[in-house]
C-alpha cells in the first residue's frame, strides 16, 4: 500500500513539474508572491514554507531547505501546485472555516480527524504551549479564543488557528480559519494536506519546546 502511494505521489509530482515547465514561469512565480532570479541555467525561486525557506530551481527542479533538512515529496507537490494555481488575487482578509470553503464541506469529518483532533488532544489544557508553538512557526498573535495565531504555510495562504481550553463545563475546541481566496492558490485536496502539515508542525514545535521540562 505504501509503495503504491509513493508511486501515485511521484506521478503527481512529475505532472506538476510538466505543468510549470509549459507555463509562463515568471508570471506563475509573481502570482504566487515569490522572489526569483534568472540564471544561465534557468530560474531560481525562493519559497517561504512555514518557518523555512526553500530554494527551487527550474528546469531541473532541485529543492534545498535553508535549514538543511530534507524537503519531502509531499511538500514539493504542495509548493508546485501552489505555484501552478496561483491567481495573483489579493487576500480578501475575510476568514472562513474549512467547511465553508466551496467543495470542502463533504470532507469535514476527515479534516476533523486528521487536523483538529490531534490539536485538541495536544493543547486542550495548555494554551501557553499552543501560543508558544505558534511563535516558533513565526505566527502572528490574534485575539480569538483563549489563544490564537496566524501562520503562513505559503506566502498567499494564511491560516488562523484558534484554541479554546477545556474547563469544568466544556471540552476543548480548535478552529482553523482560511482567507476566502484559498481556492485561488491551492486545490481542494491540498488544503487538507497543508492543514495536516501545519497541525503536525505546531505539535512538534511544542514538544521540542517542552522536551526538557517533560510537561508536554
Digit-coded pLDDT (tens) for 116-127: 999 999 999 999
Cα separation, 61 vs 194, whole angstroms: 21
Cα separation, 17 vs 34, whole angstroms: 17
Digit-coded pLDDT (tens) for 41-53: 899 999 999 999 9
Give, as one character, the DSSP assignment of residue 87. -
pLDDT of residue 5: 79
Residues of the chain with pLDDT under 70: 1-2, 211-216
Give, as one character, the DSSP assignment of residue 102. T
Q: Enumerate residues 6+ apart whose C-beta is below 8 A from 14.
A: none
Is the distance from CB of 161 to CB of 174 less than 8 angstroms?
Answer: yes
pLDDT of residue 1: 58
Give, as one character, the DSSP assignment of residue 135. H
pLDDT of residue 216: 55
Contacts for 61-68: CB closer than 8 Å, 24+ residues apart = 61/17
Cα separation, 31 vs 41, whole angstroms: 22
| DSSP annotation string for 193-214 | HHHHHHHHHHHHHHHHHTTTTT
Q: Is the pTM of this model over 0.85?
A: yes
| Helices within the chain (DSSP H only) | 2-21, 25-31, 73-85, 108-111, 117-123, 127-136, 188-209
Amino acid at each position: 500500500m505504501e509503495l503504491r502511494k509513493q508511486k501515485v505521489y511521484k506521478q503527481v509530482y512529475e505532472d506538476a513539474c510538466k505543468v510549470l515547465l509549459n507555463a509562463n514561469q515568471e508570471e506563475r512565480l509573481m502570482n504566487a508572491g515569490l522572489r526569483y532570479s534568472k540564471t544561465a541555467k534557468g530560474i531560481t525561486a525562493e519559497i517561504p514554507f512555514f518557518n523555512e525557506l526553500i530554494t527551487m530551481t527550474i528546469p531541473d527542479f532541485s529543492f534545498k531547505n535553508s535549514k538543511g533538512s530534507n524537503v519531502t515529496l509531499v511538500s514539493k507537490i504542495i509548493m508546485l501546485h501552489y505555484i501552478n494555481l496561483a491567481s495573483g488575487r489579493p487576500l480578501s482578509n475575510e476568514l472562513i472555516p474549512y467547511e465553508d470553503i466551496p467543495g470542502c464541506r463533504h470532507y469535514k469529518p476527515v479534516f476533523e480527524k486528521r487536523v483538529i483532533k490531534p490539536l485538541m488532544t495536544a493543547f486542550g489544557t495548555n494554551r501557553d504551549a499552543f501560543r508558544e508553538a505558534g511563535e516558533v512557526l513565526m505566527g502572528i498573535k490574534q485575539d480569538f479564543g483563549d489563544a490564537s495565531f496566524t501562520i503562513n504555510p505559503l506566502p498567499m495562504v494564511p491560516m488562523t488557528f484558534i484554541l479554546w481550553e477545556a474547563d469544568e463545563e466544556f471540552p476543548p475546541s480548535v478552529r482553523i480559519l482560511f482567507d476566502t481566496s484559498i481556492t485561488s492558490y491551492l486545490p481542494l485536496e491540498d488544503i487538507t494536506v497543508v492543514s495536516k502539515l501545519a497541525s503536525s508542525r505546531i505539535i512538534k514545535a511544542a514538544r521540542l519546546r517542552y522536551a526538557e521540562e517533560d510537561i508536554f
